[in-house]
Amino acid sequence: MSFVATALGKGRLYSPHCLRHTWASLHMARGTPIKWIQEQGGWTTAKVLLDTYAHYLPTESAGYSDALSAAPHGPTTAPARSREVGGGVPSVNRERT
């Protein structure tokens, strides 16, 4: 009996196609980089992979939404725009000839 058959259990039916789905879904669930899964699994694009397996991605929406608050210096705002002529680009003193 092959290693795969032993791992799956005696008498259990499996096909290469089923194993590919299992392989991809386990990697997606464990957070393996999408591009690596796509390249190793032979999907034409990462979009094709995600269209099929995106529901296996771990959900951490609370962690992502709190990511900026947990930054070492807290959330920052964009720097204030300068009101100088020329769109905020510092002027250079040049002599006109």
Here the tokens at position 3 are: 């290693």
Q: Specify the higher pLDDT residue, 12 or 56.
A: 56
- Tens digit of each residue's pLDDT (9 = 90 or more) over 13-24: 778 888 888 899
Residue 90: pLDDT over 90: no
SS3 (DSSP) at 60: coil
- Tens digit of each residue's pLDDT (9 = 90 or more) over 62-82: 565 666 666 666 555 555 555
C-alpha dist (Å) from residue 79 to 82, 83, 88: 9, 12, 11
Here the tokens at position 91 are: 């002027």
Q: Specify the higher pLDDT residue, 1 or 70.
A: 70
Round the average pLDDT of the chain to a whole number and report it: 73
Percent share of the chain, pLDDT over 90:
15
**Domain layout of the chain by residue ranges:** 3-60
**Number of alpha helices (DSSP H) and beta strands (DSSP E) in the chain:** 5, 0
Here the tokens at position 67 are: 């990511």
